[in-house]
Amino acid sequence: MTALRGRARLVGDDVNTDSIISSTRKRESLDPAVLKQFLFEHVDPAFAASVQPGDILVAGKNFGCGSAMEVAVTTVLGAGIPAVLARGFSRTYYRNAINNGLLPLVCDTAGISEGDILIYDGTGAIRNERSGETLSPDPLPPIMLAILRAGGLVPYMRQNGDFKL
Amino acid sequence: MAGRTISEKILARKSGQDAQAGDLVVCEVDCALGTDGSVPMALDYFKAMGGKNVHDSARLVFALDHYVPPASPQTIELHRVMQDFAKRFGVTLHEAGEGIGHQLIVETGRALPGSLVVGADSHAVTYGALNCFATGIGSSDLAAIMLCGRMWLRVPDSIRVVLTGELPSGVYAKDIALALAGRLGADGAAYQALEFAGPGLATLTLEDRLVLSNLAVEMGAKTGIFPADEETVAYLEGRTSQAFEPIAPDPDASYSRTVEIALDALPPQIALPHLVDQVVPLENAAGTPVQMVYLGTCTGGRLRDFHQARAVLEAGGGVAPGVQLVVTPASREVRDAMAADGTLDALVGFGATVVEPGCGSCCGTCGVIPADGVSVISTANRNFKGRMGNAKASIYLASPAACAATATRGAVTDPREVSR
């Protein structure tokens, strides 16, 4: 996996997909370039404008619960966010993340503060530059790794035409 | 070999290999639903995957349910793209106004015992009531199914939910589901299946079971599955001509935990804003002023729900001044039955705004939206901030009878008080 370095952006527990991007927004457009300006609009109206490419979302438990709508992943990617660290994900968000090449990492995020610089070395470990702490996310099963390594489900299916375990 | 849960057995059947919790398997999908909320993106993925032909159009169902009626050029275009694709490849498409996709999958006998049915919408878990492994997926997974007919799944651990006794008067399936959400929490069943069991099951109608399966995803569950019995078979009679083979769990199947709910002892429940697991006995919230009452959705928009609501509204003398009552039948079949037995007229007589069958106000994409500062009580499944299209509204979730009781007084009310 590609190495990453970015600012931690904290979003809390039980963040549902409607709060990531309101389902009323996807009525008008499915384009991440449009939707990204409404990212977390009801949680923090200033959030979308404050995102810098490379920022990493850091969540508590049950990130992406609720609707399975995939714009909740593509909008995050569209904003330039390449990874989400969470103590846990809803299963539909987790699948959608992998299918679109958004890196979902499960680890204990309690020690991470807003703005901390996080470094993912591409092999598995995450280092917090401020605290010096190193986190070891749960390893991904082979099929999920294969889809992520291909760049998402689109390139994976173009290459394989079917699922291979 | 240790015994197997219902989920393990179905996924073994659909993958052609032994399947035990934790295993990754690739399964043949018997049926996949897509809606106007998910198919337009799925078609983009399908094209990007190089999709030229649909693997097996007979296994696909499209439903136009999130934008009913389509009220903007953009939503009309989303519907047109789906209609064109469905026509070209021979995919069954339910037009706007026919109902919520999940309800249509159930009504048209697409969810058969022992099968694997998925939907590109999180409430696809609903069909678990019919003893099928039913789960929600995103648009990209739907695109892959359109391409190859298959998907990968991690075989889930199962939580055994044992129901004993019988619901007392004034307490309903929704109260069981909310109580369970309160006990397990919003992620208490994450990545796991809920497998319902116990002597209490026989007292629940198929419509009751759909409510329990529907809410499974609000606890993070992958599916909420029931064993099949006479009730299941009776529901499917006349809805399918296909043979099916129900799956029962082995007596020595292994579960991650067991949760027991004594139905006799259950009081009415309510979920407080803005999380589905913020559940308390309804009496704790009694008296909270409410300005909008919503009856509908894939949780609480079926005939039985409207019958229960009507009975309470009649007993309570109708809707209190200042309360807006909005009704959205889950399907045309439901609405026609309501029209035939007088329920529709009765609700209209109480001043209800009746919206075309579909998702309605549930996720704010169509239908009636609550005003700023309004408290809503709803038969739906989610009460997230902004869920109904206005982040300045507060949503409470309860049974249809409790919603109706609340409508009669303009404040959260125990349905047992009104029917007395």
Count of C-beta atoms within a 10 Å radius of residue A141:
14
CATH code of the domain containing A108: 3.20.19.10
Report in angstroms the alpha-carbon separations of A145 from A56, A127, A153. 19, 21, 11
SS3 of residue A160 by DSSP: helix
Where along chain B do its domains lie?
Answer: 9-155, 156-238+255-266, 270-413
Question: What band does B257 get if pLDDT is binned at 50, 70 and 90?
Answer: very high
Question: For residue B34, how many C-alpha atoms fall within 13 Å in the half-sphere facing its CB?
Answer: 32
In this complex, do A30 and B44 lie within 8 Å of one another by their Cβ atoms?
Answer: yes
In angstroms, rounded to a whole number, what is the distance separating the alpha carbons of residues A104 and A98? Answer: 7
- Whether A159 is covered by a domain: the verdict is no
In this complex, do B363 and A42 lie within 8 Å of one another by their Cβ atoms?
Answer: no
Report strand pairing: B394-397 vs B375-378.
parallel
Q: CA A150, A153, A159: angle at the middle one, nearest 5?
A: 60
- Establish if A102 touches chain B: CB-CB under 8 angstroms: no
In angstroms, rounded to a whole number, what is the distance separating the alpha carbons of residues A50 and A53? Answer: 10
In this complex, do A163 and B148 lie within 8 Å of one another by their Cβ atoms?
Answer: yes
At the topology level of CATH, where does B9-155 sit?
Aconitase; domain 3 (3.30.499)
Tokens of B346: 């009765």
- Whether A165 is covered by a domain: the verdict is no
Q: Which of A123-127, B191-195, B210-214, B292-296 has the lowest mean pLDDT?
A: A123-127
Helices B206-215 and B173-184 pack at an angle, to 10 degrees, of 20
Range of the domain at A66: 4-138
Mean of pLDDT over chain B: 97
The reply to whether B270-413 shares the fold of B156-238+255-266 is no
- Whether A149 is covered by a domain: the verdict is no
- Count of domains in chain A? 1
ipTM: 0.97
Q: Is the Cβ–Cβ distance between B59 and B33 less than 8 Å?
A: no
Taking 90 as the threshold, does the pLDDT of residue B83 lie above it? Answer: yes
- Whether A91 is covered by a domain: the verdict is yes
SS3 of residue B88 by DSSP: helix
User: pLDDT by residue (tens digit) across B266-290?
Assistant: 999 999 999 999 999 999 999 999 9
CATH class of B270-413: alpha beta
Count of C-beta atoms within a 10 Å radius of residue B242:
11
What CATH number is given for B156-238+255-266 in this structure? 3.40.1060.10
Q: Region B233-256: what's the mean pLDDT?
A: 97
**Chain B contacts of A163, Cβ < 8 Å?**
26, 144, 148, 150-152
In this complex, do A24 and B389 lie within 8 Å of one another by their Cβ atoms?
Answer: yes
SS3 of residue B108 by DSSP: coil
User: pLDDT by residue (tens digit) across B31-73?
Assistant: 999 999 999 999 999 999 999 999 999 999 999 999 999 999 9
pLDDT of residue A123: 79
In angstroms, rounded to a whole number, what is the distance separating the alpha carbons of residues A119 and A115? Answer: 12
In this complex, do B122 and A67 lie within 8 Å of one another by their Cβ atoms?
Answer: yes
- Whether A160 is covered by a domain: the verdict is no
Dihedral, CA of residue A39, residue B192, residue A96 and residue B146, to nearest 10:
-140
In angstroms, rounded to a whole number, what is the distance separating the alpha carbons of residues B291 and B372? Answer: 11
**Chain A residue closest in CA terms to B215:** A66
User: pLDDT by residue (tens digit) across B112-136?
Assistant: 999 999 999 999 999 999 999 999 9
In angstroms, rounded to a whole number, what is the distance separating the alpha carbons of residues B389 and B378? Answer: 14
pLDDT of residue B420: 58
* Residues sharing a CB contact under 8 Å with residue B217, sequence separation 6 or more, in sequence order: B122, B123, B125, B136, B224, B381
Q: Is the Cβ–Cβ distance between B298 and B382 less than 8 Å?
A: no
Count of C-beta atoms within a 10 Å radius of residue A50:
12
Q: Region B391-398: what's the mean pLDDT?
A: 97
Taking 90 as the threshold, does the pLDDT of residue B185 lie above it? Answer: yes
**Chain B contacts of A42, Cβ < 8 Å?**
385-386, 391
Taking 80 as the threshold, does the pLDDT of residue B1 lie above it? Answer: no
The model's pTM: 0.97
pLDDT of residue A164: 87
Whose tokens are 């007084």? That residue is: B409
Give the nearest partner residue to A163 out of B152, B363, B386, using CB atoms.
B152
Regions of chain A short of the pLDDT cut 70: none
In this complex, do A69 and B37 lie within 8 Å of one another by their Cβ atoms?
Answer: yes
In angstroms, rounded to a whole number, what is the distance separating the alpha carbons of residues A135 and A109? Answer: 8
- Whether A113 is covered by a domain: the verdict is yes
In angstroms, rounded to a whole number, what is the distance separating the alpha carbons of residues B420 and B415? Answer: 9
- Whether A163 is covered by a domain: the verdict is no
Quick one: chain B helix, strand, coil %, rounded to 5? 40, 20, 40
Tokens of A59: 């969540």
User: Which of A17, A30, A63, A65 to mutate to test binding with chain B, by most B CBs within 10 Å of its CB?
Assistant: A65
